[in-house]
Amino acid sequence: MTVAPDTYPNPRGDNAWDNDAVHWLLEHPDVSAVFTRHDLAECTRRQPKRLENDLDNVILAAKICERYGVDQIQVVDRAIGKTVWRLRRTDPDAPEYPPYGEASAATTQMVTTSDDVAAANRLLRLVPEYAAELTASGKSPNTVFTYTDRAERFLRRVARP
């Protein structure tokens, strides 16, 4: 099994290989002059809000990745149930990477029972009502989307047999 790199601090518990690549890029003065760790991580991983609100920096981050040999690769992360962008250094000192598609295999999988699956399926039917309740309480459309999207993704994971 591939050992996750721990050369750099990772207090947020981000993907260890992405964290390593972001910190390594920030060691280059031209990169650290433009980006903070948080901004670079989000831009290199093409986070949806960055694509929507900060496209120029997403493009700049892609150019920086290309310049320094960091591949941006789209993979399905089974642990969170969606497609994400992962970073892979190609320099001689790069850590060993797990095969793509298995990058999240190091995380533990939930053990669910048939009762959990049934409960998740029942709760999934309530997500629209949850969204309506949040909207009625004055939550912004972005907040409503965030709450319901996360709840729905979690319940769909549990509902998978």
What is the model's pLDDT at position 1?
Answer: 66
Gap between the Cα atoms of 3 and 106, Å rounded: 9
The rounded percent of the chain whose pLDDT value lies above 70 is 92
Helices (H), ranges, 27-126: 29-32, 37-44, 48-53, 55-68, 114-124
The pLDDT, as a whole number, for residue 141 is 86
Residue 101 has pLDDT above 60, yes or no: no
Q: Please check the confidence at residue 118 and state whether its pLDDT lies above 60.
A: yes
**pTM beyond 0.85:** no
- Name the 3-class secondary structure at 87: strand
| 152 burial level (CB within 10 Å; 0-12, 13-18, 19+) | middle
